[in-house]
Chains A and B, each alone.
Chain A
């Protein structure tokens, strides 16, 4: 019973182009969403988050979009750089709950020079 789904295990883009990573969720009680980036043999690094009262949040090259009616969020990276190559995890939490994060399985992004 996967509450957070990242249906694309991998994505390959050219340097300078846009990377779009997608995430779907099933639990309507989720109200806070986060993206983490992870390199091999390291812990996840926080990238950007969005609360359910917003539909967009932007931080430099990273923008997260939230579509509550579709229970869908996406992370846009533009322009993509080779250093962005990593596994990206979408996570969600439920305010008023225990603050635990529910993670998707991740999407491996490869940015080709």
Chain B
């Protein structure tokens, strides 16, 4: 009964490189959410996806960030040309349905460090 899986758990990139973060939702879940946590802060919503669709990307920075959730395979959060300010913990969550009162279950996170 695997939970939400994220990999890698730790990722180190130099400024200007690309970072790819992967998330596999819980079995039976078709809704994926990405959140970012800066040091000493709460989690901030970035994007909400269903299979092959972006439902809400209101929390995504306008440039360099993109997300996808293909029909097959994990959801990917992609950060191009990383900068030091992108250093954070990125958490993925999944839920079963859309609608009222659905708990989101979180993965262990990917800790991105930009040198």
A residues near B, CB below 8 A?
4, 6, 32, 34, 36, 41-46, 49, 51, 89, 91, 95, 98-106
Looking at the assembled complex, report how far the CB atom of A40 sits from the nearest CB atom of chain B, in whole angstroms.
10
**Given known contacts A32-B100, A42-B109, A98 and B42 CB-to-CB distance under 8 angstroms:** no
| CB contact between A100 and one of B6, B33, B101, B106 (< 8 Å): that residue | B33
Q: Are B48 and A100 in contact, CB atoms less than 8 angstroms apart?
A: yes
- B residues contacting the other copy or chain, number (CB 8 A): 31
Q: Are B31 and A103 in contact, CB atoms less than 8 angstroms apart?
A: no
Q: Which of B6-34 contact A (CB under 8 A)?
A: 6, 31, 33
| CB contact between B44 and one of A41, A45, A95, A103 (< 8 Å): that residue | A103
B residues near A, CB below 8 A?
4, 6, 31, 33, 35, 40-45, 48, 55-56, 58-59, 91, 93, 95, 98, 100-109, 111
Residue of A nearest to B98 (CB): A99
| CB contact between A44 and one of B41, B91, B102 (< 8 Å): that residue | B91
With a 10 A CB-CB cut-off, give which of B45, B56, B58, B98 has the most chain A CB atoms.
B45
* 20 A-B contacts (beta carbon < 8 Å): A6-B42, A34-B103, A42-B108, A43-B6, A43-B106, A44-B106, A46-B103, A46-B104, A49-B103, A99-B33, A99-B48, A99-B95, A99-B98, A99-B102, A101-B33, A101-B35, A101-B43, A103-B35, A103-B42, A105-B41
